[in-house]
Amino acid sequence: MSTTEGMITEIERFALNDGPGIRTTVFFKGCNMNCAWCHNPETISMKRDLHYYASKCISCYKCVYACPCKAQKRINNIHMYYPNLCVKCGKCAEICYAGAMAISGKKMTVAEVMHEVLQDKPYYLTSGGGVTLSGGEVLCQREFAEGIVDACHENGIKVAIESNLNFPWEEIESFIRKLDLVMCDLKIDDSTSHRKWTGADNTTIKASIASLAKSGTPFIVRTPLIPGATDSNENIAAIAAFLKEVDSNGSLLYYELLNFNPLGDTKYQSLKKKNPFAEARPLPKVRVEELKAIAEKAGIIVRAEE
Amino acid sequence: MGQIQFINEFSPEEEFTLDKRIRLLKARKLRQTEEKIEMEGGLDEDDYGRVVPPDDFHFEFIPNNKNGSYYGYEGWRTNYCKLLDEHPLYCDPLDAFVGRGFFFMTRQKGAIWNPDLPYDDLKEAFDEYNIVCGIGSDGHFTPDLRMGFSMGWGGILEKLKKYRKINNGPEHEEFYKSEIMVVEHIISFLHRIAGEIAALAEEEQNPYLRQNLKEMAACNEKMAEGQPETLRECIQWMCWFSFFSRLYNRGPSGGQLDELLRPFYEHDIAEGILDDETAKFYIACLFLNDTRYYQLAGPDDNGNDMATHISYLILEAADWINIACNLTVRVHDNMNEDFFRKSVWYLFKNKNAWPRFSGDNSLVNGFMRLGYDKNLARKRLAAGCHWMSIPGMEYTLNDLVKINTAKVFEVAYTEMMREAAQTPPSTEILWQKFAKHLERAVDTTARGILFHLHNQDKNEPELICNLLSRGPVEEGADVTKSARYFNMCMDGAGIGTVADSFAACEQRIEKEGKITWEALTRQMDLDWHDIDGEYIRQMMLHSERYCGGDTLADHWAVRINELFSNLVRSMVPKIRALDPAYSEIQFIPGWFSWSNTLEFGSHVRATPNGRHNGEAINHGANPTFGFRKDGAVTAMANSIASVQPFYGNCAPVQLELDPKIANTPEGVEKMVAMIRTILETGNTLLNINIIDQHKVLEAHKDPSKYPDLVVRVTGFTAYFAMLSPEFRQLVVDRILAVNGDDPLMPEMRASSGC
């Protein structure tokens, strides 16, 4: 099996929300966009990140002696962590069994990933599930992703990806055509606003979605409902209209509205990063229903997560 | 307190529907549960449909032993018959049936075992290895209710008298004398009850309820001696059998409920005297009166599914009353898919831990390894917390015999360290010592079972269950001597704790060299309170864990299961050779702790897996808290499948799932697939709690806030509020374990869509 290596944050088995059936989700590390509300901030950088969970600290101070750059300190018998001094070498996390210091990001080979993935094969087959490659942005590590897809297919396991599709179609087409399902995002229809909130223009994304629609690969498009950023009537209506226009051969399974998830804040705190949406809350159910109705007017199938 | 009759509770003008009666009965049931909590405190066990006795009812037992208790045929028949004579009637005019009781004689009688039958030679090993030996335990097999339906109490009495004439030797005298006396008292009890209900009917002013009481009185008068012909009579008979057996010794399990009821239901429908709504009402009332274990569906002799229309009615009735129902749906190759889906749907709809699911392939194929044929193996029904039984054919001590393997590990570890100067410690030395001590524990346990079989009739004959078993009446001997098959269960407890401990030693001492045996032992001796104690404890705790998925501990668990299963099976020729009276005895291994998790843990000092002194051991075959960061159900189920002894008994999977998992049709389909796959990949039994984590945590703080919250504790279901704080904590820990304890837990990890 392939020895190609990739950088991942986590492999989650018994994943029920990342596609059809019972799945295993492999979270890739590293993203080509930088969405202001990202709920998996540890997956943005390609490099390793260090999380600090103060509530797990047992005050053993082993990290103070392990840290080569003095980012861990004992001050007045209190453990302190200074991320600006930290080079994310992970020496503290290696000896922190309590899990207060934890590295996210580990290199794994395709074979290592498959060792984990194959353990749940009977569940994929019975449930119509499989493996979902997520992230981060899967397409940033295309060779690694392709290795996993090929290995899964050799074992009769279906593969889906979650991607922002912010890549020229010609670069990703051959890979996309191998997949059993693509779940992609179109967060904001307006290009300027898209750039403002995600750091990237949406022209390539829309072009890739249009090409994806023509390719015949089944796909789902999703919009996270971020208060003040993506949740306007106009934005949802425009995305729905775009999808109706490009879905010429019915490969779009449905358009999904994902309500804001406030739980990512813990991760921002552990990474000592500022969370611009720390105070935001999910949209009321009635508002989600309103937006769903607006999207449905375009004549496409719409689902809304509770 | 303890009100047991409810006459003229409603005005004469009050009108009723079946649905209204169910709502009122359920509300009363909840009040009675609260009353039980108030009067009796926490009870870590099944609900049993019991009620608090009235204030003016006090029963004085007649002892026949100087210790103040009573034993043997004479002691039991005397007290049981006296109790039947004095037991007041619980009667609710809203109910279709009577049959509620107040207590079990076994709980009231004092010392369970007759002190005149000592077994001191076995006690030392029982204590050393913390063995629950089962000596003197009762009621954990399944009588055949169909025998009762076909004979009625009058027919049972005739049968006893007929066989007394055949078996007229003195060795049978006590048996027949006791059984005949018991059945005669049962018959006169039922005549009295019928008369009392008729009198209550005269008092009742509401015409609708009066009519119900009159019908109830007539039904009971007929059931005093006759055989049931209608569904109502059949269920009334079942309610009383449940009462008689529970009153005696907490009673046995039920059987294949749909097939038990089907002939009566079909009879009534053909006669035009029953509609489905009324049938469901009767079944719902059965659940109020009788919470014992029943199986639904499953393969018949030809492998076809037994689910029929009444199987659906039973699910609908359980949904209607929606209390703690111990229903098991059998998952097999030719399963009725629609019925299976519907049962899963009810599980998630009601979140009351019913039904649970058993896996036919593993159970049947496992049982056949003992030499039984497929038809017989298929007749072995889900009958208890974690066990199976063939109605009327088997005598077992299922779920009553348990070896605390964590204690065995402790003994082995202590011995290894004591000899460390001569033989350097290693996991292999530890394994050899563990195997040696486990063999001694299993051997002593098997001898204890044999001792029980020889002496239980002199201690506590099964006077009620004998009557519906094949053998006792025909041979004039207690079921412990006359059953068709003796399939004696021997459960191990603590496989997770032991596997994690072996793995932690292998990983941290032998592979990584992070700590020495001596340093670890010092920390364990001081319960991790030496210098760096908590740090070292965390290191050991976070070693590769059982149910982590192909981990070191998973490999140890497989090895432990093989050792235990082989040792238990090796007792078969040994005990057969020892005692020709039980020349066909079988010993069947399983993994189950029942609610002994806390008790067992309290006897075991700190273990190498980072466990503190006295902390609970792992539950059944489930892993300990925090076994994987993602708490993956699939990883857990795979590991539990790998430690199935595979001889027809269970190592159950206990799941706690969030209700949001199946709040869409797709979600339910995923659960259908999950349940099927768990049971198709080698597992035997699956208990599922659908629990809102927030609700349980709130209920843990203040149980009175959720009096109707039902949870599956080990194999049994119970009202959460009825559990002791320690048991509530166990349930809470399991929920947290599966939902993950890490800040990066699944529900917090958004997909890339966000």
pLDDT single digits (tens) A68-115:
999 999 999 999 999 999 999 999 999 999 999 999 999 999 999 999
User: With an 8 Å Cβ cutoff, are A128 and B673 in contact?
Assistant: yes
Answer whether B26's CB lies under 8 Å from B323's CB. yes
pLDDT of residue B292: 86
Interface confidence, given as ipTM, is 0.93
Least confident of A228-237, B200-209, B713-722: B713-722
B313, B280 in Cβ contact below 8 A? yes
CB contact under 8 A, A163 and B542: no
Domain A50-104, CATH:
3.30.70.20
A32 SS3 class? coil
CB B751 to CB A183 under 8 A?
yes
- Count CB atoms within 10 A of the CB of residue B333: 10
Q: Name, in order, each residue with C-beta under 8 angstroms of B119's C-beta and a sequence gap of 6 or more.
A: B135, B448, B451
H or E element, residue B542: none
Distance of CA B223 to the CA centre of its chain: 29
Is residue A75 helix, strand or coil? strand
**pLDDT at B42 (0 to 100):** 61
Q: Who wins on pLDDT, B339 or A44?
A: B339
Please judge whether A21 and B746 are an interchain contact, meaning their C-beta atoms are less than 8 angstroms apart: no
Identify residue A266 by its one-letter amino acid code: T
pLDDT per position as a tens digit, B33-43: 888 777 776 66
Nearest chain A Cα distance for residue B215, angstroms? 50
**Range in A1-10, A211-220, B157-166 with the lowest mean pLDDT:** A1-10
Residue B138 Cα, gap to closest chain A Cα (Å): 40
Strands B294-296, B255-256: pairing is parallel
pLDDT of B740 > 50? The answer is no
Integer Cα distance of A170 and A212 in angstroms: 11
* pLDDT attached to residue B699: 85
**Residue A255 structure tokens:** 């358009």
CA distance B325 to B256: 14
List CB contacts (< 8 A) between B634 and chain A: 13-14, 22, 119-120, 123
Contact B58, B82 (CB under 8 A): no
Average pLDDT over residues B135-158: 96
Q: Quick one: average pLDDT of B498-507?
A: 98
Phi, psi (deg, nearest 5) at residue B99: 145, 15
Average pLDDT over residues A152-161: 98
Average pLDDT across chain B, whole number: 92
Query: What is the per-residue pLDDT across B291-311, written as a single tens digit (0 to 9) for each?
Result: 889 999 999 989 999 999 999
The residue type found at B606 is A
- Three-class secondary structure of residue B101 per DSSP: coil
Q: Do B752 and A123 touch (CB under 8 A)?
A: no
Q: Are B256 and B358 in contact (CB under 8 A)?
A: no
Helix extents (H) in chain A: 62-66, 91-95, 110-117, 121-127, 142-154, 169-176, 191-198, 203-215, 233-246, 265-270, 285-296
Sorting pLDDT into bands at 50, 70 and 90, what band is B749? very low
Residues A51, A271: contact at Cβ < 8 Å? Answer: yes
Question: Is the C-alpha dihedral spanning B282, B285, B289, B294 positive or negative?
Answer: positive
Chain A residues in contact with B753 by the CB 8 A cut-off are 162, 183, 185, 222, 224, 256, 258
Beta sheet of A130-134, edge-to-edge order: A106-109, A5-15, A23-28, A130-134, A158-163, A181-185, A219-225, A252-259, A302-304
Using DSSP's 3-state secondary structure scheme, residue B390 falls into coil
Three-state SS annotation for B9-72: CCCCCCCCCHHHHHHHHHHHHHHHHHHHHHHHCCCCCCCCCCCCCCCCCCCCCCCCCCCCCCCH
Q: Which of B167, B45, B187 is nearest to B104 (CA)?
A: B45
* Residue B255 in tokens: 């059987």
Which chain A residue has its CA at the smallest distance from B514's CA?
A: A95
CATH of the structural domain A5-46+108-304, one choice from 3.40.50.1440, 3.50.30.40, 3.20.20.70, 3.10.180.10:
3.20.20.70
Distance from C-alpha of A198 to C-alpha of B753, rounded to nearest angstrom: 12
With 60 as the cut, is the pLDDT of residue B739 above it?
no
Contact A60 B535 (CB under 8 A): yes
Please choose, from the candidates A227, A255, A291, the residue with its C-alpha nearest in 3D space to the C-alpha of residue B753: A255
Task: Decide if B376 contacts B390 (C-beta within 8 A).
Answer: yes
Q: Which of A8, A10, A11, A12 is the best mutation test for B, with the most CBs of B within 10 A? A: A12
pLDDT tens-digit series, residues B521-579: 999 999 999 999 999 999 999 999 999 999 999 999 999 999 999 999 999 999 999 99
Residue B298 amino acid letter: G
- Taking only the tens place, the pLDDT of each residue in B363-400 is 999 999 999 999 999 999 888 888 889 999 999 999 99
Record: contact B538-A20, CB cut-off 8 A: no
Please state which of the ranges A147-156, B48-57, B121-130, B150-159 shows the lowest mean pLDDT: B48-57
pLDDT in tens, A127-154: 999 999 998 999 999 999 999 999 999 9
Where do you find CATH 3.30.70.20 in chain A?
A: 50-104
Question: What global pTM score does this model have?
Answer: 0.93
With pLDDT > 70 as the criterion, what percentage of chain B qualifies?
96
CA distance B267 to B97: 20
Chain B residues within an 8 Å CB radius of A129: 670, 673
The Cα-based distances of B557 to A268, B360, B414, B433, B616 in angstroms read: 38, 23, 21, 16, 18
CA dist., res. B36 & res. B39, Å (int): 5
Mean pLDDT across the stretch A40-53? 90
Three-class DSSP labels, A147-177: HHHHHHHHCCCEEEEEECCCCCHHHHHHHHC
In sequence order, what E strands does B316-422 have? 327-331, 356-359, 381-382, 388-389, 394-395, 402-404
Compute φ and ψ for B159, nearest 5 degrees. -60, -45
Q: Name the minimum distance, in Å, from the CA of A305 to any CA of chain B.
A: 10
Select the residue of B633, B667, B743 nearest A14 (Cβ to Cβ). Answer: B633
Q: Note whether B444 and B122 are within 8 A (CB).
A: yes
Which range has the worst mean pLDDT, A171-185, B4-18, B614-628?
Answer: B614-628
Q: How far is CA B96 from CA B22, B267, B282, in A?
A: 10, 19, 6
**Contact by Cβ (8 Å): B644, B627:** no
B211-268 per-position pLDDT tens digit: 999 999 999 999 999 999 999 999 999 999 999 999 999 888 889 999 999 999 999 9
Alpha-carbon distance A286 to nearest alpha carbon in chain B (angstroms): 18
Bridge partners for A8 per DSSP? A28, A106
Q: How much is the pLDDT for B1? A: 54
Query: Where in chain A do CATH 3.20.20.70 domains reside?
Result: 5-46+108-304
Residue A268 pLDDT: 83
